[in-house]
C-alpha cells in the first residue's frame, strides 16, 4: 500500500514536468489562451478535449458555450475545467483536430507559442460567427459565417 502511494507521487511529478501546455491571458487581452509549455513537434498530440457530453439545451450560459466543443451536430463536449476549455481560433492555427477530440500539432510549435485551431474546421452552431483579428497574413476576418 505504502509502496503504491509513493509510486503515484513520483508518477505525478513526472507528468507535471512533462506538461505540454498551460493557460494564460490571451494576447488580445480578452479571456484566456493555451500556450506551449515546451517545444512541440509537428504531428505530436497536444491535448485531448474532455468534458461531459451535452445537448445544446443543457448548456445554459454563454461562458459554458464558449468552453464547449461541438463534436457532431447537436452534441457538445461541455467544459472540462481544464486547458481544453481555452483553445482559441486562428486562421493560421498551430494545431488541427483529428477525430472528435484530439488536437495534433500541424507544425512545430515553439515554447510559449499559442495553441490554436481553425474554428471553421470544427462543427459550428448554425448561424454562429465571430469577427477574427488573429493577425495572421491569411486572416479571413470572419469565422463561421459560411
CB of 127 to Zn ion, least distance (A): 20
- Reported as half-sphere exposure (CB side, CA atoms, 13 A), residue 58 has a value of 12
Q: How far apart are CA 82 and CA 62, in angstroms?
A: 17
Specify whether the backbone of 10 is left (phi greater than 0), alpha (psi in -120 to 50) or beta: alpha
Q: For residue 139, state whether it binds Zn ion (rule: CB under 5 A).
A: yes
Q: For residue 46, state whether it binds Zn ion (rule: CB under 5 A).
A: no
CB of 15 to Zn ion, least distance (A): 33
Q: How far apart are CA 9 and CA 16, in angstroms?
A: 11
Q: For residue 115, state whether it binds Zn ion (rule: CB under 5 A).
A: no
Q: For residue 117, state whether it binds Zn ion (rule: CB under 5 A).
A: no
Stretch that binds Zn ion, among 2-10, 70-78, 122-130, 136-144 (CB under 5 A): 136-144
- Inter-residue contact 26 to 57 (CB < 8 Å): no
Pairing of strands 102-105, 116-117: unpaired
Stretch that binds Zn ion, among 32-40, 56-64, 101-109, 128-136 (CB under 5 A): 128-136
CB of 105 to Zn ion, least distance (A): 19
CB of 21 to Zn ion, least distance (A): 21
Interaction site with Zn ion (CB under 5 A): 91, 132, 134, 139
Amino acid at each position: 500500500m505504502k509502496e503504491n502511494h509513493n509510486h503515484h507521487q513520483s508518477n505525478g511529478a513526472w507528468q507535471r514536468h512533462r506538461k505540454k501546455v498551460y493557460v494564460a491571458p490571451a494576447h488580445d487581452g480578452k479571456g484566456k489562451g493555451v500556450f506551449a509549455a515546451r517545444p512541440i513537434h509537428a504531428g505530436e498530440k497536444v491535448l485531448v478535449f474532455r468534458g461531459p457530453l451535452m445537448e445544446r439545451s443543457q448548456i445554459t450560459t454563454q461562458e459554458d458555450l464558449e468552453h464547449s466543443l461541438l463534436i457532431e451536430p447537436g452534441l457538445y463536449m461541455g467544459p472540462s475545467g481544464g486547458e481544453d476549455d481555452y483553445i482559441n481560433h486562428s486562421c493560421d492555427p498551430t494545431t488541427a483536430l483529428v477525430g472528435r477530440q484530439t488536437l495534433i500539432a500541424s507544425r512545430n510549435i515553439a515554447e510559449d507559442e499559442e495553441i490554436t485551431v481553425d474554428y471553421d474546421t470544427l462543427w459550428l452552431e448554425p448561424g454562429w460567427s465571430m469577427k477574427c483579428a488573429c493577425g495572421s497574413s491569411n486572416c479571413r476576418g470572419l469565422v463561421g459565417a459560411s
